């Protein structure tokens, strides 16, 4: 393989050919068990976890408990001063930045800016970049669309029955794909650059 082909296939950050391809699909972000207080007592007080998906640093958190729980996936840097939200304080209805106390909901809305004077509308104009999260079969899936994505694809994950929890996802018949993942993608869904290199 030539160096240019290697770069094309291995770079997955935003704005890269393979990054844009992989952003067309839901990605497993975490297992639901990782938020279980019985397995990790810290999750009882602070159900928040730093994750890295496709070269992006994100924070995944739960708002609420039980069947009413909402899941949020936000960029890790606060839009105000860039503070790392993996150190955020978990509160009802969202997380609060550790630096100036800005509070964000699961959908990225800014709920509170405590240092602003009364009557300030800054809170209504600020949003943190957020990504949709879907819980299915004990796995939390995230969708990180590229700029070209217009709609969310459906998740294709085997439904678990009873106490079984699958810990993998993929295309039907390709779960043992190892390094041969391009063969599992239909050629029509590949970008032109990847099709030419493959």
In tens, the pLDDT along 130-179 reads 999 988 888 999 998 865 445 555 555 555 555 554 554 344 443 333 34
Same domain for 141 and 174, yes or no, is no
Same domain for 128 and 178, yes or no, is no
In a domain, 79, yes or no: yes
| CATH number of residue 73's parent domain | 2.102.10.10
Q: What is the pLDDT of residue 147?
A: 55
Same domain for 105 and 136, yes or no, is yes
Give pLDDT tens digits for 7-60: 888 888 888 888 888 888 888 999 988 988 888 888 888 889 999 999 899 999
Q: What is the mean pLDDT of residues 64-93?
A: 85
Same domain for 42 and 136, yes or no, is yes
Q: In sequence order, what are the residues at sequence separation of 6 or more whose Cβ sits closer than 8 angstroms to the Cβ of residue 27?
A: 53, 54, 141, 142, 143, 144
In a domain, 17, yes or no: no
Count helices and strands in the chain by DSSP H and E runs:
5, 11
Between the alpha carbon of residue 133 and those of residues 56, 65, 90, 136, 166, the distances in Å are 15, 16, 18, 10, 17
By the 8 A CB rule, do 57 and 75 touch? Answer: yes
Q: What is the mean pLDDT of residues 64-72?
A: 78
User: Order of strands across the sheet with 94-96?
Assistant: 89-91, 94-96, 103-104, 110-112
* For the chain, the helix, strand and coil percentages under 3-state DSSP, each to the nearest 5: 25, 25, 50
Same domain for 147 and 172, yes or no, is no
Same domain for 188 and 122, yes or no, is no
Q: What is the pLDDT of residue 14?
A: 84
By the 8 A CB rule, do 178 and 191 touch? Answer: no
Is 5's pLDDT higher than 80?
yes
Q: Which residues pair with 110 in a beta bridge?
A: 104
Q: Which residues pair with 142 in a beta bridge?
A: 27, 133
Same domain for 57 and 147, yes or no, is yes
In a domain, 118, yes or no: yes
In a domain, 74, yes or no: yes
In a domain, 15, yes or no: no
Task: Evaluate if pTM is beyond 0.85.
Answer: no
Q: What is the pLDDT of residue 51?
A: 94
In a domain, 3, yes or no: no
In a domain, 32, yes or no: yes
Total structural domains within the chain: 2
131 sits in the region (left: phi over 0; alpha: psi -120 to 50; else beta) called beta
Same domain for 53 and 139, yes or no, is yes
Task: Print the domain residue range for 195.
Answer: 168-198
Same domain for 30 and 97, yes or no, is yes
């Amino acid at each position: 393989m030539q160096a240019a082909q290697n770069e094309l296939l291995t770079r997955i950050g935003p704005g890269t050919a393979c990054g844009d391809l992989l952003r067309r699909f839901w990605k497993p972000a975490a297992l639901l068990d990782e938020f279980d207080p019985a397995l990790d007592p810290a999750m009882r007080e602070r159900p928040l976890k730093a994750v890295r998906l496709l070269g992006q640093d994100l924070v995944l958190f739960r708002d609420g408990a039980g069947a009413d729980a909402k899941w949020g996936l936000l960029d890790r840097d606060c839009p105000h001063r860039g503070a790392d939200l993996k150190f955020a304080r978990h509160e009802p209805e969202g997380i609060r930045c550790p630096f100036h106390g800005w509070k964000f909901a699961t959908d990225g809305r800014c709920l509170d800016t405590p240092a602003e004077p009364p009557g300030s509308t800054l809170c209504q104009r600020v949003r943190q970049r957020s990504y949709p999260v879907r819980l299915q079969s004990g796995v939390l899936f995230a969708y990180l669309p590229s700029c070209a994505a217009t709609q969310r694809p459906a998740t294709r994950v085997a439904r678990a029955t009873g106490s079984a929890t699958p810990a993998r996802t993929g295309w039907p018949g390709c779960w043992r794909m190892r390094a041969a993942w391009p063969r599992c993608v239909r050629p029509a869904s590949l970008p032109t650059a990847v099709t030419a290199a493959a």
